[in-house]
Amino acid sequence: MSAEGVEVVVPDGLSLREVEPFVEQKRQWIERTLLRMREAEVEQPPPRLAHDGEVGYLGERLKLDVRVERDRTRSHVARRDECLAVSVGAHGVQPVREALERWYRRRARDEVAVRLDEATARAGASYSRLQIRGQRTRWASCSSTGAMSFNWRLLLAPAAILDYVVEHEVAHLEIHDHSRRFWSLLLSRCPDYRQHQAWLRRHGPSLRL
């Protein structure tokens, strides 16, 4: 589901006649959800992946300077003040999207690592390794061995959201469940966590390229 509409994936062997009543049953929920997503996209504009377009970066809006170089075999992205210079080898949105995703993944490792190191130092804890991933429905995770995983799409959100997610996962190094004790610990480290949770629920679907 996105603000543009809903895609229904039907298992093999299931008749379309069985799908229509199910969709109709969920119609009100679908319409309410689509409305919320469209409203959220007005508040948090989606990226425009073209020359003179814009993308988000930890609360900033960076302008895109896209150049197509036919002989280029490897894309290149560089930040210059409030601009991202993107060099690709072909026209179209997809080459720009792929180049930007690689850049965001590299930047995510740096942005997350510095926050994670600072948060674990404050907590007197440690983690075993850091991974940057691109999950569709999960923002971060902390394994029982202390392995941390964060979604690069968090860089499309304001910095305070990334800070909150880091504190959430660092709290899991001490308490692995979502018990009352966990939320009490998180509250002591991130007093505004409820607002950040609500922001992610509302705007999370729009954090994409």
Tens of pLDDT, residues 6-47? 565 656 666 666 666 766 676 776 666 565 656 556 666 778
Residue 146 main-chain phi, psi, to 5 deg: 85, 10
Q: State the pLDDT at residue 15.
A: 65
Encode pLDDT of 78-123 as tens digits. Answer: 999 999 999 999 999 999 999 999 999 999 999 999 999 999 999 9
pLDDT value of residue 9 = 62
Both tokens assigned to 112: 């997350």
Average pLDDT of the residues of the chain? 88
Which of these ranges, 111-115, 192-196, 200-204, has the smallest mean pLDDT?
200-204
Output the pLDDT for position 21. 75
Contacts (Cβ under 8 Å, ≥6 apart) of 109: 130, 132
Bridge-based pairing state of the strands 129-133 and 83-88: unpaired
E strand or H helix at 113:
helix 93-123
Give the pLDDT mean for 164-175: 98
Judged by average pLDDT, the poorest of 12-16, 129-133, 171-175, 199-203 is 12-16
Give the pLDDT of residue 1: 43
Determine the Cα–Cα distance for residues 194 and 208; give it in Å rounded to an integer: 23
Strand order in the sheet with 54-57: 54-57, 60-68, 83-88, 76-80
Indicate left, alpha or beta for 5 from its phi (over 0: left) and psi (-120 to 50: alpha).
Answer: left
Q: What percent of the chain has pLDDT over 90?
A: 73
Residues 33, 1: contact at Cβ < 8 Å?
yes
Q: pTM for the complete prediction? A: 0.80
Distance CA 124, CA 173 (A): 10
**Please, what are the domains in the chain?**
1-43 (no CATH), 95-206 (3.30.2010.10)
Q: Regarding beta strands 76-80 and 83-88, do their DSSP bridges make them parallel or antiparallel, or are they unpaired?
A: antiparallel
Give Dmax over CA atoms of the chain in angstroms: 58
In the beta sheet, which residues pair with residue 79? 84
